[in-house]
């Protein structure tokens, strides 16, 4: 399987386009909150969320937090298997349905 893109129906989501060959890196810029090492973080970029949304589009269990926090959002994952391009779509407010190639 080769991932192509992860997109959403809302402008607030920054689409992810995966490299055709090699690896795709999602990097966070380290933030410093004072002198202490304790305040430094790489959170907030969306690395873990991107992985969770790929899982969501591929059929993970229902996520009630998505339904509550981001209702009416729809995520689309484009990928390729054995040279065949596929599209998976799933809405946060209708998680019991996953559309594969619009079916």
Domain positions in the chain: 2-20+30-100
Do the beta carbons of residue 4 and residue 79 sit within 8 Å?
A: yes
Do the beta carbons of residue 73 and residue 91 sit within 8 Å?
A: yes
With CA atoms as reference, report the closest residue to 103 among 82, 79, 86, 80.
86
pLDDT at 31 over 70: no
- For the stretch 3-17, pLDDT in tens is 999 999 999 998 999
Q: How buried is residue 25: exposed, middle or buried, by Cβ count under 10 Å (0-12/13-18/19+)?
A: exposed
Q: What is the pTM of this model?
A: 0.82
Sole residue written with tokens 């407010």: 93
Q: How buried is residue 8: exposed, middle or buried, by Cβ count under 10 Å (0-12/13-18/19+)?
A: middle
Q: What is the reported pLDDT for 61?
A: 96
Confidence of residue 30 (pLDDT cuts 50, 70, 90): low
């Amino acid at each position: 399987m080769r991932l192509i893109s992860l997109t959403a129906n809302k402008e607030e989501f920054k689409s992810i386009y995966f490299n055709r060959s090699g690896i795709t890196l999602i990097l966070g810029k380290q933030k410093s909150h004072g002198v202490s090492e304790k305040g430094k973080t790489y959170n907030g970029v969306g690395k873990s969320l991107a992985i969770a949304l790929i899982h969501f589009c591929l059929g993970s269990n229902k996520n009630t937090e998505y339904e509550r926090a981001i209702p009416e959002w729809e995520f689309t994952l484009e990928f390729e298997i054995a040279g065949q391009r596929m599209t998976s779509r799933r809405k946060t407010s209708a998680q019991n349905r996953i559309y594969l190639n619009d079916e």
